Structure 1
Amino acid sequence: MVMVPRLVIAAPASGAGKTTIATGLMAALVRRGLAVSPHKVGPDYIDPGYHALATGRPGRNLDPWLTSEDLIAPLFLHGAANADIAIIEGVMGLYDGMRGTADFASTAHVARLLEAPVILVVDATGQGQSVAALVHGFASYDTRVRLAGIILNRVGSPRHKEVCRESLESTGIPVLGAIPRTPDATTPSRHLGLIPAAERHTEATTTIPALATLIESTCDLPALVALAHRAAPIPATAWNPQDAVATTANVKGAGGKAPASVGQGDTTGDGEGLASGPAPVSVGQGEATADGEGLPGGGAAVSVGRGGATERNQGWVGGRTPVSVRQSEVTGEGWVGVDGRARRGIRPVVAIAGGAAFTFGYVEQVELLIAAGAEVATFDPVRDEDLPEGTRGVILPGGFPEVYASELSANERLRVRMAEFVTSGGAVVAECAGLLYLSRELDDHPMCGILDAKAEMSGRLTLGYRDAVAVQDSVLTRAGERYRGHEFHRTVCTPPDSPVWRWIDGGDGYASGRVLASYLHLHWAGSPVLAARFVGECR
């Protein structure tokens, strides 16, 4: 049994201000001397980037679909190790999950799995007495979810605040904050939600202290901390990347147990990247919400390196907040090189693209690669003209290459180097942004030309969970294996002649030699065999 004080920050719907309030709360608690562990429900990459800036710790995702229900508590405990308190930002509305499966993968689902108190952020705009009816409905909908407090957001005036407070007295749920309308307390967004923190690092580091001050002046921090301490101990053992890799020892080709897939789901159609429904297909519905709530983007904030952040690429995996992860925390063998001078020896160098164009990733991937025997390095395809010294494998994660297409194209030396690396037998795994980078061209800008494909921006948003079956062997997968993943993009790419992946009403992915590239995002903690296989290929 492990005791971790914790709170879930949820809302009735997207756009209520969860990210602003959760990030501000994290920063306010850090200002008071607490070590805060940041978490995000769902397959979101952007919000955890802001969480990491606020806390100085990697932002971590909790997604029952991409990993499993059984892994939520262990992954949470792993991330919250040595923390004084954990703050978990929800996704979408509190009960919004996979259509056809009740609220699977919703914020409420994760809150139940962690037995965590829930703070409901309510946008009070245009409401008075009706706020009580709204809160009463959310509190009584599922009594297994402990709705422990309310934070009113976008309150119009002192009188408006009192009307809402008085109306909520009948619910018995305390109001722990009332935040006035603050136009400046927002984060800019674009076609896939919030702009990642890595792209506006200087501005974000100025905004976050202001959010902390806002929360301190409008919320009852002692009461919130006291509620967090009332959470029950968690009857689970923390996830360990070494143990996870060790369990793959009997899988053919890598050493692991082939991952099973459970359920299917199609998208919710509201632009939040969660699946919902019997058929996981791409949809054209759903735009990014004004504050990017729940949209994938910003997750694993981690730097692995002996020298820390560098001016050139900040030392970030995925261009995210520089939070150091010592290899000794995973393997006890000291720092992992990231500065282009990685140690040579039995540990192959795996280079992960970062910088502003490649910001989507999960920190557990890095930890699993290290546990599987790799040295992890980072490089920025916008700026760096060569791969880190000794690179044996390359991972190109998701991100926004469409925004940086001209800069990526202008770095011809690295594009040529990437092609040479593949020709010489180097192993490459590319997800979404990486797929575009390996194509012939992106929006008429020459790319690496490793794949015989053309990519371009589209007006259609493709998002949703995928219950994917590998239909051919690749550098990561074996034919017939099933994996849980998700898609999230506004680009289209020339369809492959023989897709790597198949799912209901769809398929995707190129496999050529030792290259695997597709739109499918995978969370490697749910399938640690991927790390074992990839490091094996790199050897």
Structure 2
Amino acid sequence: MNLPRLVVAAPHSGAGKTTLSLVLAAAFQEGGRTVQPYKVGPDYLDPTHLTHLTGRAARNLDGYFLEGPELLEVFRRGARGADLALVEGVMGLFDGQDPRGRVGSTAQVAKLLRAPVVLCLDASAMAGSIAALVRGFRDHDPEVWLGGVVANRVGSARHAALLEEALLPLGVPFLGYLPSEPDLSLPERHLGLYRADEARLEKAALLRAAQNLNLERLLALAQSALPLPTLPHRLPAPAEPPRVRLGVAQDAAFSFYYPENLELLTGYGAELVPFSPLEDADLPPGLGGLYLGGGYPELFARELSENWRMRAALRRFPGPIYAECGGLMYLSEALLTEEGRFEMVGLVPGASRMLGRLVLGYREVEALANSPLAKRGWRAKGHEFHYSAREVIPPAAWRLVAGGGLEGYATGSVLSSYVHLYFPSQPRLAEHFVQEALA
């Protein structure tokens, strides 16, 4: 496989990776190319902007969740029908699970993909110092292919010329710049960017910004990516016809799902049926199971609580229910926010309370008992990303492999946890969930 591809990286978060990725995607699409977007790391929000712009589901590429062969297979499956791949990095280029950035970093993914890296720098308060910064990133890991630099938040054409001149002695190509303009800024809130259906950059603004990039050189760089090896992998390629209807909570309060999770469920025979805990008075008919992902239930606590018909329908539902993070908060007895206490579904004992600090990190978990998603002893990988907390009330769902703590709640037909699981890390999860829904 030799699909043209670029990895967009930066020295740190907030430098403009998402904006540059969107500008490049818009420009290449305008040139008649089909762009497949990807996002490094366990991110649900940035991918919505790439998905909306390209019309293709942005895939997550995470070197903690997957070994190299499996990550390359996820890349290949996403790339079908595309003629250029654009990979937005995570945090800084060498930031990952470990201090050296060997696992879970943009650098790891760039090396696995044999792809050139475009380094996006926030140059708003920088001139000649850009050379020292780029030299460090160029030399830190010789196996990372630094293909060029794009400066972001540049004040003027003169400012851009100074930056380009400073880089000349290094031999690292200056591939253009993005101006410091309000219409290139994406709004944020406590969990990151607003979703694309709430706030997004206009394509006209992206195309105007692209006029300051050397698109021909960027395309040539993408086309110089080395061929990818074909390696044996452990990911199944199930393609069973629909055997059971599986309800998936999808609305403004619940929207955090990995495309690969949903595809594995579909491949094992699930027909995914969306429903809205915010708007619907009842569940869709004929469902065998329910999947409630993460999102922003705290922003809609009053509306979720007032929809007592849906809460009652969930309490009556006889099939297996899997809920993660926001779904866990909704299934709890109550959700406590600054506005007060709001009654929730009540299938999970205890209340969730909003905090002023972020809980963030990768997790590997081991099932403590049989549940709708796993059998006792099964292990899987995922991550936590939330500003709420809930006391762990027995019976717990998981044992955290690192540290041995307990997480989640599992009993009967309900499994709920703060951990967002990545099903391809343990494909049996999806298969087992479909089988339980059939039963």
TM-score of the aligned structures, taking structure 2 as reference length: 0.95
Aligned partner of residue 218 in structure 1, secondary structure: coil
Residues 239 and 36 (structure 1), Cα distance of their counterparts in 2 relative to 1, 3 Å cut? farther
Q: Which residue of 2 aligns with 1:223?
A: 217
Give the counterpart letter for 2:33 in structure 1. L
Q: Structure 1 residue runs of 4+, over 6 Å off?
A: 237-241
TM superposition shift of 1:101: 5.8
Q: Which residue of 2 aligns with 1:312?
A: none
Deviation track 1:13-71 (CA, whole Å, cap 9, x = no partner) reads 11100011111211221122211000000000001100001100001100011232321
Residues 238 and 62 (structure 1), Cα distance of their counterparts in 2 relative to 1, 3 Å cut? farther
Is the 8 Å Cα contact of residues 415 and 447 (structure 1) preserved in structure 2?
yes
Separation (CA, whole Å) in 1 of partners of 2:89 and 2:424: 20
Separation (CA, whole Å) in 2 of partners of 1:394 and 1:240: 27
Q: Which residue of 1 aligns with 2:259?
A: 363
The structure with more strand, counted as a fraction of residues: 2
Of the three residues 518, 525, 529, the one matched with 2:417 is 518
Separation (CA, whole Å) in 1 of partners of 2:80 and 2:209: 25
RMSD: 1.7
1:411-490 mapped onto 2 (5 Å cutoff): 411-421=307-317, 425-443=318-336, 444-490=341-387
1:127-138 mapped onto 2 (5 Å cutoff): 127-138=126-137
TM superposition shift of 1:100: 5.0
Is the 8 Å Cα contact of residues 392 and 406 (structure 2) preserved in structure 1?
no
Q: Which residue of 2 aligns with 1:103?
A: 102
Separation (CA, whole Å) in 2 of partners of 1:392 and 1:82: 33
Separation (CA, whole Å) in 2 of partners of 1:219 and 1:140: 25
Residues 217 and 239 (structure 1), Cα distance of their counterparts in 2 relative to 1, 3 Å cut? farther
Is the 8 Å Cα contact of residues 74 and 238 (structure 1) preserved in structure 2?
no
Separation (CA, whole Å) in 2 of partners of 1:370 and 1:491: 31
Of the three residues 484, 487, 501, the one matched with 2:398 is 501
Deviation track 1:309-330 (CA, whole Å, cap 9, x = no partner) reads xxxxxxxxxxxxxxxxxxxxx5
1:373-388 mapped onto 2 (5 Å cutoff): 373-388=269-284
Deviation track 1:120-145 (CA, whole Å, cap 9, x = no partner) reads 00111221111011101101111111
Separation (CA, whole Å) in 2 of partners of 1:167 and 1:100: 30
TM superposition shift of 1:212: 2.4
Give the counterpart letter for 2:19 in structure 1. T
Deviation track 1:231-268 (CA, whole Å, cap 9, x = no partner) reads 11111269897x345xxxxxxxxxxxxxxxxxxxxxxx
Is the 8 Å Cα contact of residues 118 and 147 (structure 1) preserved in structure 2?
yes
Deviation track 1:283-303 (CA, whole Å, cap 9, x = no partner) reads xxxxxxxxxxxxxxxxxxxxx
**Percent identity between the two aligned chains:** 44
Is the 8 Å Cα contact of residues 25 and 215 (structure 1) preserved in structure 2?
no
Give the counterpart letter for 2:435 in structure 1. G
Separation (CA, whole Å) in 2 of partners of 1:164 and 1:456: 48
1:351 aligns with 2:212: no
TM superposition shift of 1:98: 1.6
Deviation track 1:91-114 (CA, whole Å, cap 9, x = no partner) reads 010011122564311000000000
Residues 414 and 239 (structure 1), Cα distance of their counterparts in 2 relative to 1, 3 Å cut? farther
Separation (CA, whole Å) in 2 of partners of 1:10 and 1:238: 28
Of the three residues 527, 531, 538, the one matched with 2:426 is 527
Gap regions ≥5 residues in structure 2: none
Separation (CA, whole Å) in 2 of partners of 1:355 and 1:498: 30
Of the three residues 305, 322, 328, the one matched with 1:409 is 305
TM superposition shift of 1:216: 2.2
1:492 aligns with 2:389: yes
Give the counterpart letter for 2:185 in structure 1. T
Give the counterpart letter for 2:104 in structure 1. A
Aligned partner of residue 136 in structure 2, secondary structure: helix
TM superposition shift of 1:513: 0.5
Q: Which residue of 2 aligns with 1:28?
A: 27
Separation (CA, whole Å) in 1 of partners of 2:67 and 2:429: 16
Separation (CA, whole Å) in 1 of partners of 2:60 and 2:53: 16
Q: Which residue of 2 aligns with 1:66?
A: 65
Q: Which residue of 2 aligns with 1:147?
A: 146
Q: Which residue of 2 aligns with 1:235?
A: 229
Separation (CA, whole Å) in 2 of partners of 1:236 and 1:105: 22
1:274-293 mapped onto 2 (5 Å cutoff): none
Separation (CA, whole Å) in 1 of partners of 2:232 and 2:122: 35
Give the counterpart letter for 1:482 in structure 2. R
Separation (CA, whole Å) in 2 of partners of 1:102 and 1:33: 36
Separation (CA, whole Å) in 2 of partners of 1:398 and 1:214: 35
Aligned partner of residue 6 in structure 2, secondary structure: strand
Aligned partner of residue 85 in structure 2, secondary structure: strand
Aligned partner of residue 414 in structure 1, secondary structure: helix
TM superposition shift of 1:211: 4.0
Separation (CA, whole Å) in 2 of partners of 1:88 and 1:126: 27
TM superposition shift of 1:494: 2.8
Q: Which residue of 2 aligns with 1:118?
A: 117
Aligned partner of residue 295 in structure 2, secondary structure: coil
Separation (CA, whole Å) in 2 of partners of 1:107 and 1:214: 28
Aligned partner of residue 162 in structure 1, secondary structure: helix
Q: Which residue of 1 aligns with 2:170?
A: 171
- Name the stretch that deviates more: 452-461 or 497-506: 497-506
Give the counterpart letter for 1:140 in structure 2. D
**Matched positions, count:** 432
Separation (CA, whole Å) in 1 of partners of 2:208 and 2:234: 37
Separation (CA, whole Å) in 2 of partners of 1:23 and 1:208: 10
Separation (CA, whole Å) in 2 of partners of 1:7 and 1:100: 24
Is the 8 Å Cα contact of residues 69 and 233 (structure 2) preserved in structure 1?
no
Q: Which residue of 2 aligns with 1:296?
A: none
Separation (CA, whole Å) in 2 of partners of 1:467 and 1:240: 18
- Name the stretch that deviates more: 455-464 or 178-187: 178-187
